[in-house]
Amino acid sequence: MIKDFTIEYRTNPIGIDVNPRFSWKLEGKGKNVTQKKYQIQVIKSGKMIWDSGLIESDQSVLVPYSGGRLEPMSVYHVQVSVWDNHGEMGQKTGKFEMGLMSNDNWKADWITHTIPVEETMCPVFVKDFDIEKKVREARLYVTCCGVYEAVINEKRVGDVFMAPGWTSYHNRIQYQTYDITEMLEEHNNVSIMVGNGWYKGYLGFDERPDHYGDRTALLAMMHIVYTDGSTEDIGSDIDWIVETGEVTSSEIYYGETQDYTSKKSEHGNAILFQNTDVIGSVTAQESEPITITERIKVKDKIITPKGELVFDFGQNLTGIVEIKLPKLSGSKLVIKHAETLDKDGNFYTENLRTAISTDCYVYDETSIGKCVMPHFTFHGFRYICVEGVGEEIDAGHFTACVLHTNMQQTGSFVCDNKLVNQLQSNIIWGQRGNFLDIPTDCPQRNERLGWTGDAQVFCGTASYNYNTALFFQKWMRDMNVETTPEWGVPHVVPNILGDQEGAAGWSDAATIIPWKTYQIYGDKEILAEQFPLMKSWVTFIRSRVSRNGLWQTGFQYGDWLALDIEAGSTDRTGGTDKYLVANAYYAYSTKIVRDAAHELGLEAEEREYGRLYEEIVNAINKEFVTESGRMVSETQTACTLMLYFDLVKPEHMERVLTTLEQNIGAHRNHLTTGFLGTPYLCHCLSENRLHDLAAEIFMKDDFPSWFYAVKKGATTIWERWNSILPNGDFDESGMNSLNHYAYGSIGSWLYEKVAGINCLEPGYKKIKIQPFLTKGITEVEATYESAYGTIKSAWSCKDGKICADILIPANTTAEICLPEKEETVFVGSGEYHYEYETSTNLETQKYSTESTLGDLVAEELGVKLFNEIAPGMLDNPMIKFAYDMTIADLIQMAAESKPLYQAVIDALNENEREYYEN
């Protein structure tokens, strides 16, 4: 009767340092199931330490442990019992184990090595020890300045990569807990290798090393509990030995070199790490770790025109390549990584800028057949170029290993339109590629930083696809500690770019992400924890406003990369007035702080920010909208932000909406928006009776549009609308990532508007299902695994019938508003099926007599058919003048040509249909 019992969002977690909260999902059969009461009992070593008693409540998400003090390194068993309104009762058990809870519990020293600074080999800290008694349980607690990999008795400990993850190391650093019970023997060898990682490695635009310190260091402790009840701690100290092995260099941007011919060398004993004051508090791992989540085989072997040996994995991804070492023809095996080939089919790495992204393996006959992979780097790639082996090499030697934060997938969206499904896949892969412990802008070039703007625009979509509660909670904590009253919220978190004043749309991540996270997961603790940060961002802007109450100074990214700049301009901040953008976000953030204060019961703050919000909205209208409702900046993004953030006075709504519609029309129903306008454009149109226009913009497949990239073969979301130009050239090489998730923010429109899944009360306690029929899609099925259970919305509209299948999880309620139905249906949990007649036809025919002759001959098939049916027609030098004319016009001029054009139109539409279906 209950399922998915989780503790702090995890199943049976070990090594947590927080007061845990318990969540479960009811599975009651039938309709209108709600929870009547629950009871939670927590047991330690057979003794009950907390019994909640019978609680009459429907709370089933994030119920806090409210017993006595929890002990470090101790295991607690939990039993939850639940009764529903139909008299059903269910029970689930789980357990959790506390971490070290306090820095005082580390029976270990921070240690480092004496290897010369200019040396690139990765130090390995080694300890041999014997145990005499039988082990009941053993744990390894470990962290480092750098990134580590631990091995016990020649076996890798755990499956985590790039640990301890990236935090604001000066303020806080995470440790990880591993169960090593089964790994210990009588004689033990522990070796922990440490790479430079984000701590000491080369990072940022200036590619400087040593952002946090110039020496890697380790803190490790094994805690062993013997069967007789006694315990022993073996901690890092100056008895540990330092060695170097096969990893001769490793850098995130540059890749890793391993030399299996070099001998292990010893570098004496470890020494105490003196600079512990550069590191902040050591805290337990907060989010899911980075692991290999998928292994992908080579799809194609290519010899490029330049003669390069290239393997294609068929998917742009982030990770590393595992190699079964082949026989060498040269002196070493070199693996280069690239996202794409150029238009001639050659290996293309210019868009990586100076990120060399190359792994090297030096070895002799004795290592052939060994399985290897880099330890402390990752690459953004679809293709690898291999050097040092003969062309006959078998593709089976190479496997791409996908790396990212291992979040639970929570959303799915499938429909009968192949392009839409590919786009959804690209969005998911964009997220997988860039949720690598922190939300990064891109995974391939010499950047890979936690850009706040990118994360802010994508966080809604991201949270449909995966459970991001812990991921964002961890990252927001770093944002919190890196925010100052002087500079505001940084542009990247962790901030390695130095002091820069906060910027609109980027620094607003401070308010938008906690608020979104609260709405999606119903987690008030996250909201309360981040509330001071949310306030401080608004306070920062407030300290910058001019006499008119508006923020009109300082650097702004504006509507980054928007297309509506003046012709010839190289400005990347778009055509929308940058201060309109800044103040729209100022108002939006202020409103969020007001609403958050309301949720947290902070009445004084709610009033204060409510007043401020009114003032800002008035000031914005004075400055940016004329008395008759004309916007001073009439771009798509300006109108969208004003409408979506609810800043337009009621009497001006129609005018602003018309301005938006006209602007879109002037661009042949294409978008021109950048990072800040794009996430809201389609939402805004759908919510303001222009859903068909939103659908038309969305369904475009020529530049600029989402499907332009899909049709160009993209398998992730591009940084620019035209990262690759129609002729196959690259827009530019400097800032041209093919794996940037910002424009993937359209994903939330697919879930919320096309499928119609919406949250009315935090955590989806109350749901709204309101699908919008969308031309070009006749069948949709979307699911979202909410805190209460699976929500499903599936609909079809074809052959004169609309069908809808909706699933509402137990312990929630929903409003269902179906297309072409007037009334809203209020329901409880259960499965609902609807079927009714319609005259709506959502199928699209791409070609018609409204198409131009140019449209028809833009397709290879069109040219072929004209040449077959009317040989010589296209060779007439005058025909080019007819390219801009519609077929309707041409038929009017020569009625006898009608069957010819109709045949071509029909064939092209048929071809399109097959393309969508297969």
With tokens 């137990």, the residue in question is: 810
User: What residue type is assigned to position 212 of the chain?
Assistant: Y
Beta-strand relationship, 281-284 and 172-179 = parallel
Q: Which of residues 324-353 bind ligand BGC (CB under 6 A)?
A: none
Two tokens at 55? 């609680």
Q: How far is the CB of 509 from ligand BGC (least distance, A)?
A: 11
Catalytic residues: 447, 719
Beta-strand relationship, 290-297 and 813-816 = unpaired
B/e letters for 7-17, b = 16+ CB within 10 Å, e = fewer, are: bbbbeebbbbb
Q: How far is the CB of 320 from ligand BGC (least distance, A)?
A: 22
Q: How far is the CB of 491 from ligand BGC (least distance, A)?
A: 7
Sign, CA dihedral 513-519-521-526, equals positive
In the complex with ligand BGC, the residue whose CB is nearer, 374 or 453, is 453
Q: How far is the CB of 453 from ligand BGC (least distance, A)?
A: 5
In the complex with ligand BGC, the residue whose CB is nearer, 109 or 441, is 441
741 touches ligand BGC (CB under 6 A): no
Two tokens at 21? 């909260």
Q: How far is the CB of 452 from ligand BGC (least distance, A)?
A: 8
d(CA 222, CA 177): 10
In the complex with ligand BGC, the residue whose CB is nearer, 149 or 454, is 454
Q: How far is the CB of 737 from ligand BGC (least distance, A)?
A: 6
Number of residues that bind ligand BGC (CB under 6 A): 10
For residue 582, is it left (φ>0), alpha (ψ between -120 and 50) or beta?
alpha
With tokens 């996202």, the residue in question is: 339
Are the beta carbons of 172 and 477 closer than 8 angstroms?
Answer: yes
In the complex with ligand BGC, the residue whose CB is nearer, 204 or 314, is 204
Q: Which of residues 463-502 bind ligand BGC (CB under 6 A)?
A: none
In the complex with ligand BGC, the residue whose CB is nearer, 106 or 560, is 560
Any idea of the CA torsion for 498, 503, 505, 511, to the nearest 10 degrees?
80
Q: How far is the CB of 560 from ligand BGC (least distance, A)?
A: 5
In the complex with ligand BGC, the residue whose CB is nearer, 328 or 724, is 724
In the complex with ligand BGC, the residue whose CB is nearer, 194 or 459, is 459
Helix (H/G/I), strand (E/B), else coil: 23: strand
Two tokens at 661? 């519609």
Q: How far is the CB of 675 from ligand BGC (least distance, A)?
A: 7
Helix (H/G/I), strand (E/B), else coil: 594: helix
Two tokens at 541? 């802007």
Partners of residue 813 on adjacent β-strands: 766
Q: How far is the CB of 442 from ligand BGC (least distance, A)?
A: 6
Q: How far is the CB of 840 from ligand BGC (least distance, A)?
A: 39
Are the beta carbons of 406 and 905 closer than 8 angstroms?
Answer: no
Considering only 361, 557, 585, 708, the residue that binds ligand BGC (CB under 6 A) is 557
In the complex with ligand BGC, the residue whose CB is nearer, 741 or 772, is 741
Q: How far is the CB of 441 from ligand BGC (least distance, A)?
A: 4
Two tokens at 852? 């131009």
Q: Which of residues 410-469 bind ligand BGC (CB under 6 A)?
A: 441-442, 447, 451, 453-454
CA 878 to chain centre: 52
In the complex with ligand BGC, the residue whose CB is nearer, 432 or 792, is 432
Two tokens at 822? 């007037």
One-character DSSP codes across 771-840: ----TT-SEEEEEEEETTEEEEEEEEEETTEEEEEEEE-TT-EEEE--TT--SPEEE-SEEEEEEEE---
One-character DSSP codes across 728-775: S-BS-STT--S---GGGGGHHHIIIIIS-EEEEEGGGTEEEE-----T
What binding mask, one character per residue, do residues 814-843 give for ligand BGC by CB under 6 A, x or -?
------------------------------
In the complex with ligand BGC, the residue whose CB is nearer, 177 or 340, is 340
CA 510 to chain centre: 17
Two tokens at 296? 């992908």
Q: How far is the CB of 420 from ligand BGC (least distance, A)?
A: 25
In the complex with ligand BGC, the residue whose CB is nearer, 464 or 560, is 560
Sign, CA dihedral 327-328-333-338, equals negative
d(CA 562, CA 487): 26
d(CA 833, CA 640): 35
B/e letters for 26-53, b = 16+ CB within 10 Å, e = fewer, are: bbbeeeebbbbbbebbbbbeeeebbebe
Q: Which of residues 700-739 bind ligand BGC (CB under 6 A)?
A: 735
Q: Which of residues 887-906 bind ligand BGC (CB under 6 A)?
A: none
In the complex with ligand BGC, the residue whose CB is nearer, 356 or 497, is 497
Q: Which of residues 115-174 bind ligand BGC (CB under 6 A)?
A: none
Cα separations in angstroms, 20 against 69, 167, 305, 423, 439? 12, 22, 59, 38, 25
3-state helix, strand, coil in the chain (%, to 5): 30, 30, 40
Partners of residue 317 on adjacent β-strands: 381
In angstroms, how far is the first alpha carbon of the chain from the final one?
Answer: 41
In the complex with ligand BGC, the residue whose CB is nearer, 446 or 536, is 446
Partners of residue 816 on adjacent β-strands: 769, 825
Q: How far is the CB of 444 from ligand BGC (least distance, A)?
A: 11
560 touches ligand BGC (CB under 6 A): yes
Helix (H/G/I), strand (E/B), else coil: 662: helix
Are the beta carbons of 228 and 133 closer than 8 angstroms?
Answer: yes
Are the beta carbons of 92 and 3 closer than 8 angstroms?
Answer: yes
Q: Which residue is nearest to ligand BGC (CB)?
A: 441
For residue 207, is it left (φ>0), alpha (ψ between -120 and 50) or beta?
left
User: Which residues are near ligand BGC by CB under 6 A?
Assistant: 441-442, 447, 451, 453-454, 557, 560, 735, 740
